[in-house]
Structure 1
């Protein structure tokens, strides 16, 4: 039994039921394959948005969305704003339809999701369309956290998959640049910039006048560094994900402790029920013995009276 196959099955379980099902699956294989049981025990509970995307992947619903990415990438390479606009409209329609399909699947499973979770589902699908590596991750059915595309930066897949070794295309393969989730305005600007521009005519120079000293005013504030801001945002996001993973781990540990405590309580209740039944049996035996003793005394008295009557 392959761990990736087990993980795919478990990740289809609703997050609210995940820990219980994972524990049951771990116990089922522990006798035959302790290494697999250990890996199952370490499987992270999926975030709600990742669970919805895994449901879509299981249905094969993400193929059209991911396959639309290369067409958008080619339109951008061709600097064709009309084609880019058409494909972006198509992408928006596909993303909306898939998000609704994911919401329906979650409701059918008895665990409807919130609008905030659906926003993360849409962002994950857009990331899967923008970056081929993210597309492979989303289609694998092994996603444990949502994805997000940040312009031309590659989608961060660190900690996104339950079994990264099972999805090599998520880490290697095509070297195509990610597709930025922006409008086509940048392509039109680049197209205009490539056209030849008429040479500017020199303007007539006015007669020079003596310059007056001017107050330089306050020094301009230093311009922000967009790259540094993106790095800081990614670092903050990574820290938040780490905190979220730690919180998930603590929650799972608490759930496991609660489950163990409930099992111990069930054992004690069974022992108490057995003891109560034994007490009841002992009480019945005691009552039956007392009844037998009473009957024996009555027979003895009757025999004594009969003997006295005969002696007279």
Structure 2
């Protein structure tokens, strides 16, 4: 079994049991495959919303939602208001149904989730509809964090997958070969950077048109600062999560060693108790033998006195 298959199984474990199960799986393969054991040890604990998405992916419940994405994107491109409204209603219905299904799966697994987590589940499904690469990610069963769609930008998948190399590639929408998630994201960013901002006809204002008001750059700077702060906070949170997982692993190892030491002490105590019991039995036997010897001696002495008379 490869790392992706092991990861898919572990990511289905309830969050409260994840670290212990990951440690057990890592130890079970350490002798046969140290590289796999190392990879398992580095597997991140999934965020609650990602865990719910992985449960849905395991049940094969995300296909209809992801497949609805291209139809929505086409309707938006065609600017067909009626179709857009219909598809949006359908999208809302599908997302609500999936969120409820995810809540039921989490409860069945003994780990009910909060409304805030279900909101992140909805946001992740929306991102899967908006971006085919995100769609491939959520259907993979390897998601470790929630996703979010930001307008027309590609969904950020950095650090979102336990094993990015194992995720099926999303198609580019043409006859070209599949584009990997990483390269597709980079290509689209490059295309946006090289794309002209407007055509010549749009750049030339109408002679009678009123001058456009200058755009205030302050809100944009504020939003950019907010996004940067959010990314930094997310990075810090991921680092803290990895540190916490490492601490839990260390604590689990200490506990296992303590349990082994206690078992050794218990076995030593049992051996000592058995030895004490053996020595007590030997002592009792010796005392009994001594009593018998005294009885024989006393009988011999009595017999001897009787012969003397």
TM range (shorter): 0.7 to 0.9
User: How do 1:47-66 residues align onto structure 2 when only pairs under 5 Å count?
Assistant: 47-66=47-66
* Structure 1 equivalent of residue 285 of structure 2: 288
* Structure 2 equivalent of residue 24 of structure 1: 24
Quick one: distance in 2 between partners of 1:299 and 1:118? 91
Alignment TM-score, normalising by the size of structure 1? 0.76
The offset of 1:99, in angstroms, is: 1.5
- Structure 1 residues 252-286: Cα deviation after superposition (integer angstroms, max 9, x where no partner): 33333334333433333343334333333333333
Q: Once structures 1 and 2 are overlaid, which stretch shifts more, 13-22 or 54-63? A: 13-22
Preserved contact between residue 131 and residue 177 of structure 1 (Cα < 8 Å): no
**2:233 is aligned with 1:223:** no
Gaps of 5+ in 1: 179-193, 203-220
**2:302 is aligned with 1:305:** yes
Preserved contact between residue 4 and residue 163 of structure 1 (Cα < 8 Å): yes
The offset of 1:172, in angstroms, is: 4.9
Quick one: distance in 2 between partners of 1:114 and 1:275? 54
**2:68 is aligned with 1:68:** yes
* Structure 2 equivalent of residue 250 of structure 1: 247
Quick one: distance in 2 between partners of 1:289 and 1:37? 58
**SS where residue 224 of structure 1 aligns?**
helix
- Structure 1 residues 111-136: Cα deviation after superposition (integer angstroms, max 9, x where no partner): 22222322222222222222211111
Alignment TM-score, normalising by the size of structure 2? 0.77
Preserved contact between residue 131 and residue 154 of structure 1 (Cα < 8 Å): yes
Quick one: distance in 1 between partners of 2:150 and 2:291? 92
Quick one: distance in 2 between partners of 1:71 and 1:15? 35
Alpha-carbon distance change, 108 to 81 in structure 1, aligned in 2, over 3 angstroms: same
CA RMSD in angstroms, aligned pairs only: 3.1
The offset of 1:201, in angstroms, is: 11
The offset of 1:234, in angstroms, is: 3.0
The offset of 1:235, in angstroms, is: 3.5
Preserved contact between residue 19 and residue 256 of structure 1 (Cα < 8 Å): no
Alpha-carbon distance change, 279 to 165 in structure 1, aligned in 2, over 3 angstroms: farther
Gaps of 5+ in 2: 170-179, 190-201, 211-215
User: How do 1:208-219 residues align onto structure 2 when only pairs under 5 Å count?
Assistant: none
Alpha-carbon distance change, 99 to 306 in structure 1, aligned in 2, over 3 angstroms: farther
The offset of 1:154, in angstroms, is: 2.2
Q: How many residue pairs are counted as aligned between the two chains?
A: 276
Ranges of 4+ aligned residues in structure 1 off by more than 4 Å? 172-178, 199-202
**SS where residue 223 of structure 1 aligns?**
helix
Quick one: distance in 2 between partners of 1:116 and 1:272? 53
Quick one: distance in 2 between partners of 1:128 and 1:293? 90
